[in-house]
Chains A and B, each alone.
Chain A
Amino acid sequence: MAKISIDDLKKIKERERSKMVLRDGEFRVKITVHMGTCGIAAGARDVMSVFRDLIAAKGTHDVILTNSGCAGLCSKEPMATVELSDQPPVKYVLLDREKAARIFEEHVMGGKAVEDYALARGSETTASG
């Protein structure tokens, strides 16, 4: 394998170990990008890429990015779920690079869900007699 420098990996390891003493290892935010066949075909890899680049650019250490399979709403792909540790998860639909960047800014960093792109918002109303 071409050189991934062992020294670089060791440096990351040492730096992270010193940080782990300071925090409890809990992540503040979990981002899950749906990576089923439907998601991949609709552009989920691009969405993942935007989140990955923004996490690296901001240098945040409390956001974890992961992926999952098809959620059964193939026509709404690409989808992602953002879960803040103290809030219920929000499922976003029909994403693209721009929407992902806005979600990262406003929800992941700012703590406020982007209702415009969420799967449902007030889906039922109570009829007033």
Chain B
Amino acid sequence: MEDISLHILDVAENGIKAGADLVKITVEENTQTDRLVVTIEDNGRGMDADFLARVLDPFVTTRTTRKVGLGLSLFQQSAQEAGGDLTIASTPGVGTTVTAFMSYRHIDRKPMGNMVETMLTLIEGNPDCDFVYTHISNDKRYVLDTREIRCELEEIPMNHPEVTGLIRDNLVSGLQGFSAE
């Protein structure tokens, strides 16, 4: 993966494949503490302790489970290369939370990438799933909550081109000045 936004897209898709209808994505950039934390929380079917113990091993993970493949181990590798790590907490029937942290200024930290495209791809490709995207950059904060939009739209699909257009505008203007890279 070229950047962190692609890892986020990948892990969020895992959650949706696991039956989630709500995925919460949080990105916290803190240049003072030199930390970048990414959290992806889904309310999908979750994993039992046995599977959870093996889930980060790319050679043990079985494709037939369809819960995860190489994606999580790639994200973990990216985090470890940037002085951090990736952890997973999961409860069957409740959901899964993936947390990756990195040293913000680490020379090998991948760039944030394009979170606008990641969010639009998730929303467009999964119109029945809701997303809460929170991006915190030092003292700035942006939140996109598709539940608020869905509430107004009623039966109009979330992936209607005009709706995704509004969401794109909202993301672009809301994220202005974030991720100074």
Contact = CB atoms under 8 A, between A and B. Distances in A.
A94 interface: no
Contact of A48 (B6, B124, B160, B173): B124
Interface stretch (B36-44, B68-76, B104-112): B68-76
Of A10, A37, A40, most buried by chain B (CB within 10 Å of CB) is A37
Contact of A13 (B127, B156, B164): B156
Interface residues of A, number: 36
A52 B164 contact: yes
Contacts of B154: 13
B126 interface: yes
Interface in B1-39: 1, 6, 9-10, 13, 17
Given A10-B152, A16-B156, A2 B174 contact: yes
A34 B162 CA distance: 23
A66 interface: yes
Contacts of B6: 40-41, 45
Determine the main DSSP class of B at the interface with A. Answer: helix
Contact of A33 (B118, B125, B166): B125
Interface in A34-74: 35-38, 40-41, 45-46, 48-49, 52, 55-56, 59-61, 64-67, 69-70
B153 A35 contact: no
Nearest to B14: A37
A8 B106 CA distance: 42
Interface stretch (B45-53, B94-102, B140-148): B140-148
A8 B162 CA distance: 9
Contact of A36 (B69, B118, B165): B69
B61 to A, nearest CB: 11
B9 A35 contact: yes
Interface in A1-19: 1-6, 8-10, 12-13, 16-17
8 contacts: A2-B170, A16-B156, A36-B69, A40-B1, A40-B6, A41-B6, A45-B118, A56-B161
Given A48-B121, A59-B161, A64-B159, 5 more contacts: A1-B148, A5-B166, A38-B70, A40-B9, A66-B127
Interface of A: 1-6, 8-10, 12-13, 16-17, 33, 35-38, 40-41, 45-46, 48-49, 52, 55-56, 59-61, 64-67, 69-70
A-B pairs with lowest CB-CB distance, top 6: A67-B125, A37-B71, A9-B152, A2-B174, A56-B161, A12-B162
